[in-house]
């Protein structure tokens, strides 16, 4: 599978504080970006146009059920 990428100097807006973020070099889907103004962790979610959004952490669940003490 070929990973989608875009190469150039690109400006995006932080979805949290609205600051302008400059992305240089190769930009790829899933790339993590930190806003220099508010330190919000963002992720590249689109390439044409380049878009960022908050990084969503999936909750981790334990496959083993815990026994409940009643």
Residue ranges making up the domain that contains 9:
5-54
Rounded CA gap, 50 and 48, in Å?
Answer: 5
Asked if the structure places residue 27 within a domain, the reply is yes
What is the tens place of the pLDDT at every residue in 40-58?
999 999 999 999 999 987 6
The domain total for the chain is 1
Task: Calculate the alpha carbon distances from 47 to 23, 29, 42, 44, 69 in Å.
Answer: 12, 7, 14, 8, 51
Beta bridge partners of 53: 43
Mean per-residue pLDDT of the chain: 84
- pTM confidence score: 0.69
18 Rama class: left (phi>0) / alpha (psi -120 to 50) / beta: left
CATH code of 29's domain: 2.20.28.160
């Amino acid at each position: 599978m070929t990973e989608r990428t875009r190469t150039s100097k690109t400006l995006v807006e932080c979805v949290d504080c609205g600051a302008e973020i400059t992305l240089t070099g190769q930009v790829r889907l899933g790339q993590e970006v930190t806003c220099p103004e508010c330190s919000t962790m963002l992720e590249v979610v689109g390439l044409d146009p380049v878009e960022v959004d908050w990084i969503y952490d999936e909750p981790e669940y334990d496959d083993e059920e815990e026994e409940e003490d009643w």
